[in-house]
Homo-oligomer: A and B are copies of this chain.
Amino acid sequence: MKLYDYYRSSAAYRVRIALELKGLEVEHVPVHLGRGEQRRPEYMAKNPQGLAPALELDDGTVLTQSLAIIEYLDALQPEPRLVPADPLLAAKVRAIALAIACDIHPLNNTRVQAYLQNELGQSRETVDKWVHHWVLTGGLEAIERLIDPAPFCFGATPTLADVVLVPQLFAARRFATPLAHLPKVLAVDARCADHPAFQAAHPSRQADAE
């Protein structure tokens, strides 16, 4: 399998963590989002959204959307399970992942920040305020109330919730979002930072890191 990857993309980082947790090896193909490589025709033919990541299977089938890819990996190799078998616990785990993937990340990613600066002429300061607002309000501050670290978000082993939370915290720190009032979120992040799979997937450890 090939992962079309970018070291600093939160969504790609999620898939890297899932692959590491499952011990699955893939070829990493860098797509430099900063240089717009995701909009090249040959990449758009694989992922018409022009976003990273995408997972290309050995038969050439391309899967898109990080959470759909991780659910596929969970079916392909169920151990360790990232979405719990119990439907109620699965709903709670998916809710954290979706709160980040739907309600935080899309509002602070590179393409939206670029639109605010270039199309709407907003200052860097206004864009930072925008980022902090969406990351915190209804975002990480809600997640702080929804998780119950033990020591991962929902128990003794990492789930999809942790897999999505850690890259969002990496992104929040890049934009200097204040996080000190979120002790449960920070405790989960610290525990994950000690885990070899999370370490191996870290942006700084990728071949395309700058």
CB within 8 Å of B: which residues of A? Answer: 47-51, 61, 63-65, 67-69, 71-72, 75-76, 87-88, 90-92, 94-95, 98-99, 101-103, 105-107, 111-112, 115, 119-120, 122, 126, 130, 133, 138-139, 141-142, 145-146
Contacts and interface: CB of A to CB of B under 8 A. Distances in A.
Contacts of A107: 106-107, 112
Contact of A130 (B49, B67, B91, B115): B115
B120 A65 contact: no
B106 A91 contact: no
Contacts of A141: 48
For the residues of A in contact with B, the DSSP-based class is helix
Contact of A65 (B61, B98, B133): B98
A106 B102 contact: yes
Contact of A145 (B48, B72, B101, B103): B48
- What is the count of identical protomers in the complex? 2
A90 B72 CA distance: 8
B106 A87 contact: no
Contacts of A122: 120
A115 B133 contact: yes
Contacts of A103: 49, 51, 106
A133 B119 CA distance: 11
Nearest to A67: B98
A115 to B, nearest CB: 7
A25 B173 CA distance: 44
A90 B71 contact: yes
Contacts of A142: 47-50
A90 B65 contact: no
Contacts of A146: 48, 64
